[in-house]
Amino acid sequence: MSSTITRTDFLVRRDALHETSFWEVPVEPAALKDGEVILKVDSVAFTANNVTYAAFGEAMHYWDFFPAHDGWGRVPVWGFGDVVASKCAGVKVGERFYGYYPMSSHLTVSPVKCSPAGFMDGAAHRRELSPIYNTYVRTTTDPGYSADGEDLQMIFRPLFMTSFLIDDFLDDNDYFGAAQLVLSSASSKTAFGVAFLAAKREGVKVIGLTSPGNVGFCEKLGCYDEIVAYDKIQSLDAGTPTVYVDMAGSGPVRRAVHSHFADNLKFSSSVGASHWDDMGSNKDLKGPRPTLFFAPAQGQKRAKEWGNDKLQAKSAAAWAAFISQAKDWITVEHHTGRNEMEAVYRATLDGKVKPSIGHILSF
């Protein structure tokens, strides 16, 4: 096999997300164990969703997928990687896989359950983690893959699956008896994915909350019945039974929503943390206690009830309808190298990324 590979990691201090570093680790292809594979990470998307992974890294075990040293973490991202070394019969050098990667130049995996569709990483430290994040899809057999659609797939596909499962969870529970859905961080891709799907349901009004500067962008999407700035929450009808899906994670916004709707708030779901630095406390909130939404749990429930084939077919049909419109909602920008990678990370962490821009990173 080839000579030593230098793996570069972009590291984030787990308890201080603005503190970053780059770390180089030698990887010896010749030292691969039987069944192991090295993937070169080609390109990945970075969105507010990845900030949520970092913000909830401890609570939701996101840091556990790609361990780092001494209190540092590698933020998980979605993208494409190419096999550069393999001692696994089911995975060949040169093959390309879509999946869950670290912000690193390379990833060593231990493929199990290899099939024409792809494989799962069976590395010991990942065995107890959600299988949704451990699956790597072979591009040559993925019916939803196209080479010219890679950017949109990286940016939207993992977020849209969460959107799909949120919408399905709410419908599965008859919207908890609510007549309207309120989504914070309405300009985020996961939020407008939910709005796109919820807008197709009968009897549910879809309202987006956002910052004043993003009102125009959200209105142009066409999937919200109403867009309201955060400082105008009081303008909403407090007498309407409501479900709140919180993508922002902002403590003050959450408290304002709970205080305004009080007992007419039928369910409150915590999903994201785009306002990760302002999450606040849930103490003494009016209405229901916020419940953390974990997408893999709903996915596993539906896989058991419907079967995996039906789940994949339903989500694929929803994805096709969504992406046919969403492709016109953003402009993709590509960034290469350490400096640009760090700049996009910091801008996203600080909430300074325009919702109309999708960022693709490469080392």
Half-sphere exposure of 164 (CA within 13 A, CB side): 22
**One-letter amino acid identity for 26?**
P
Contact status, residue 130 vs residue 296, Cβ threshold 8 Å: yes
CA distance 106 to 5: 9
Q: Dump pLDDT digits (tens) for 305-314.
A: 998 778 878 8
In the predicted structure, residue 233 carries a pLDDT above the cut 90:
yes
Q: Which CATH number fits domain 5-145+333-347: 3.40.50, 2.60.40, 3.90.180, 2.70.98?
A: 3.90.180
Local confidence band at 320 (pLDDT 50, 70, 90 cut-offs): confident
**Rounded alpha-carbon distances, angstroms, from residue 119 to 95, 174, 234:** 12, 35, 50
183: exposed, middle or buried (Cβ count in 10 Å: 0-12, 13-18, 19+): buried
pLDDT of 145 > 80? The answer is: yes
Hey, which of 7-11, 68-72, 158-162, 300-304 has the most confident mean pLDDT? 7-11
Note the pLDDT of residue 118.
93
- Parallel/antiparallel/unpaired status of strands 118-121 and 106-109: unpaired
List phi, psi (to 5°) of 170: -65, -45
Domain map (residue ranges) of the chain: 5-145+333-347, 159-293
The gap from C-alpha 130 to its chain's centroid, in whole angstroms, comes to 14
pLDDT of residue 362: 96
* Distance from C-alpha of 175 to C-alpha of 191, rounded to nearest angstrom: 16
Interacting residues of 58 by C-beta distance below 8 A, sequence separation 6+: 14
pLDDT at 275: 47
pLDDT tens digits, 247-287: 888 889 999 999 999 999 999 998 865 544 555 566 778 99
What is the pLDDT, as a whole number, of residue 20? Answer: 98
Confidence label for 96 from pLDDT (cuts 50, 70 and 90): very high
Contacts (Cβ under 8 Å, ≥6 apart) of 321: none
CATH superfamily of 159-293: NAD(P)-binding Rossmann-like Domain (3.40.50.720)
Q: What is the pLDDT of residue 60?
A: 83
- Can 5-145+333-347 and 159-293 be said to share one CATH topology? no
In this prediction, residue 139 carries a pLDDT of: 94
pLDDT in tens, 194-214: 999 999 999 999 999 999 999
